[in-house]
Amino acid sequence: MIPVRGFEGRTVAVFGLARTGLTAARALILGGAKVVVWDEKAESRAAAEAEGLDLQDLSTADWSQFAALMLSPGVPLTHPTPHWTVEKAKAAGVEILGDVELFARTVNAAPDHKRPKIVAITGTNGKSTTTALIGHICAAAGRDVRVGGNIGQGVLGLEDMHGGAVYVLELSSYQLDLTSSLKPDVALLLNVSPDHLDRHGGMEGYVGAKRRILLNQGKGDTAVIGVDDPWGQRICTEITAANRRTIVPISASKAMGRGVYVLQGLLYDATGERAVEVADLLRARSLPGRHNWQNAAAAYAAVRGLGLTSQEAADGLMSFPGLAHRMETVGAVGKVRFVNDSKATNADAARQAMSSYPKFYWIAGGVPKAGGIDSLGDLFPRIEKAYLIGEAQDDFAATLEGKAKLAKCGTLPAAVAAAYADAAASGHDAVVLLSPACASFDQFADFEARGEAFREAVLGLSRPTAKGARA
């Protein structure tokens, strides 16, 4: 764990006691701060109390005692309306911080010889795969790497820092909204498309949150920016004009005079005097499809920015084992293969998986994002049949009506059973794809829980019953 510096002897309020909040509370205490915690959920308060944390109802607390409010990223900061803790903190002049900002201040206060390297990754899609991929390449090259943030372990729960460490951090727009002093050695902005617009007051607010990852970079730092979407192109042009750092554009769809790009599966490094082919991504079994080619280009550019050789980077790409819940084959029953893409929480992310298969049986639904699945219309002819679940099933059914066969299944286990029955009855090799294009919170705690439920349902198909038949 990383002891948080800068609040020794002062009191910090922590609101939101899920993984991020609890980890931040422990790290603050370890660094010498006094900490009071609160959550609106009784079960979360009970878990904190069982750990010996100091519960204090922040709705009735004297806010003049607090040096800062550590706010969990899931709590609304500005939109749709500020949370009541935010209003109270602002009224009392109390600074509002997130766990990534606590980490950043701790790093910035460390002596130069103890400061680690930081790679920070954001974007609408591909963050988790790219983060895991960079971590894998660094580890394979013998670096002391720690991977966390919005993936796996919260940043403050990672092993304490030293000068030779590399922190590879996935950062969401929610986390970036609460971060102001992070200075990444390598910052990656993979892509930008509409998402979480209700939490940011529209597209400009969302883009502004993503851009914060580039906020404090200077001479000697590297910015890796995807230019396959209009927002990325615009941001790359704007910061290139500022000319304060090394800028590496990346693309999975076009050759560039400068940058890192992929054409027909071949990865090229054009950061030098000429473009050099460095890897054949068609041989990288865990990086299929154009979206993964963008992830690979980004990871390659990032580790080169850290000083790894081109060969070390290419070798790491080839040996990457893949990421759970992102186009992960979780099993097969007969000729039917089941692919877990639960991480696809919006239509743009689902497009990436759907584009990888000529035909598939599609499980989709949950809490819909703005725009639903209208943007996926060009892929509807690939759908053998759709199996719809959760809050979105009626809206998705209306969008698909007359364009693809569909069934309203309500729950994930029901959808898996129905999809398997139809796929098996076809007699052909078939793919059942869970790529929900939705958040998971109507039926699951998070996308990981949804993916594990899918895995369990698939395993259930092949378990023998008491009489020896398949379940």
Q: Give the distance between the most distant pair of CA atoms in the chain.
A: 71
User: At residue 244, does pLDDT exceed 80?
Assistant: no
- Residues recognised as catalytic: 127, 150, 196
The pLDDT value given to residue 122: 96
Token pair recorded at residue 48:
């904190």
Q: Are residues 156 and 247 in the same domain?
A: yes
Same domain, 56 and 120: no
Same domain, 140 and 196: yes
Distance CA 352, CA 253 (A): 14
pLDDT at residue number 470:
46
**431 within a domain of the structure (yes/no):** yes
pLDDT at 86 exceeding the cut of 70: yes
Tokens 């029953």 locate to 333
- Which of residues 319, 341, 371 is at a domain's end? 319
Per-residue pLDDT reduced to its tens digit, 327-356: 888 999 999 999 999 999 999 889 989 998
Q: What is the CATH number of the domain that holds 72?
A: 3.40.50.720
Joined tokens for residue 216: 């404090």
User: How many CB atoms sit inside 10 A of residue 224's CB?
Assistant: 28
Write out the residue range of the structural domain in which residue 454 sits: 328-462
Helix (H) / strand (E) element for 84: namely helix 84-91
Across the range 48-56, mean pLDDT stands at 94
pLDDT in tens, 205-223: 889 889 999 999 988 999 9
Classify the phi-psi angles of 367: left when phi > 0, otherwise alpha if psi is within -120 to 50, otherwise beta.
Answer: beta
What is the pLDDT of the chain when averaged over all its residues? Answer: 93
Non-local (6+) Cβ contacts of 151 within 8 A are 127, 128, 131, 132, 170
- Is the residue at 421 inside a domain? yes
CA distance 186 to 169: 10
pLDDT given for residue 203 in this prediction:
83
Closest CA to 178 of 254, 18, 70, 338: 70
Q: Do 241 and 353 lie in a common domain?
A: no
Q: Is 123 annotated as a binding residue?
A: yes
**Dihedral sign for Cα atoms in the order 389, 395, 398, 399:** negative
CATH of the domain at 368: 3.90.190.20
**Do 270 and 134 sit in the same domain of this protein?**
yes
Residue ending a domain, choose from 97, 131, 166: 97
Indicate the number of domains in the chain: 3
469, pLDDT greater than 70: no
- Which residue, of 269, 287, 319, is where some domain finishes? 319
Three-state secondary structure string covering 425-452: HHCCCEEEEECCCEECCCCCCCHHHHHH
Residue pair 200/138 in contact (Cβ under 8 Å)? The answer is no
Task: Examine the domain organization and report whether 215 and 288 are in the same domain.
Answer: yes
Helices 127-140 and 310-319 meet at what angle, rounded to 10? 120
- For position 288, what pLDDT does the model report? 83
CA distance 300 to 310: 8
Is 126 flagged in the annotation as binding?
yes
> Could you give the angle at which helices 230-242 and 203-211 cross, rounded to 10 degrees?
50
385 within some domain: yes
Smallest CA-to-CA distance from 360 within 330, 336, 377 is with: 336
Instruction: Band the pLDDT of 63: cuts 50, 70, 90.
Output: very high
d(CA 387, CA 360): 11
For 374-398, write each residue's pLDDT tens digit: 999 999 999 999 999 999 999 999 9
Overall average pLDDT of the 229-241 stretch:
91
The alpha carbon torsion through 230, 231, 236, 242 (nearest 10 deg) reads 130
Reference 33, options 60, 67, 71, 73; nearest CA is: 67
HSE, CB side, 13 Å, CA atoms: give it for residue 368: 18
Confidence of residue 464 (pLDDT cuts 50, 70, 90): low
| 5: in domain | no
Same domain (yes/no): 172, 283: yes
Helix axes 127-140, 290-305, angle to 10 degrees: 50
Provide, rounded to the nearest whole percent, the portion of the chain with pLDDT above 90.
83
Ranking 113-122, 315-324, 358-367 by mean pLDDT, the lowest is: 315-324
β-bridge partners, 333: 336
| CB contact at 8 A, 346 and 195 | yes
468 CB neighbour count, 10 Å cutoff: 6
DSSP classification of residue 295: H
d(CA 63, CA 307) in angstroms, rounded, equals 46
At residue 463, φ and ψ (nearest 5 deg) are -75, 135
Domain co-membership, 160 together with 134: yes
pLDDT-based confidence at residue 463 (cuts at 50, 70, 90):
low
Check the annotation: does 125 bind a ligand: yes
Look at the alpha carbons of 306, 312, 318, 320 in this order and tell me if their dihedral is positive or negative.
Answer: negative
d(CA 360, CA 6): 53
Residues 429-441 have a mean pLDDT of: 96
399 is in an annotated binding site: no
275-313 pLDDT per residue, tens: 999 999 999 988 888 889 999 999 999 999 999 999 999
Residues 154 and 118 in one domain: yes
What CATH code is carried by the domain that includes residue 160? 3.40.1190.10
Flag whether 310 is in a domain.
Answer: yes
226 within 8 A of 189, measured Cβ to Cβ: yes
If asked whether residues 164 and 307 sit together in one domain, one would say yes
Exposed e or buried b per residue across 29-63, where buried means at least 16 C-beta atoms within 10 angstroms of its C-beta: bebebbbbbbbeeeebbeebeeeebeebebeebeb
129 is in an annotated binding site: yes
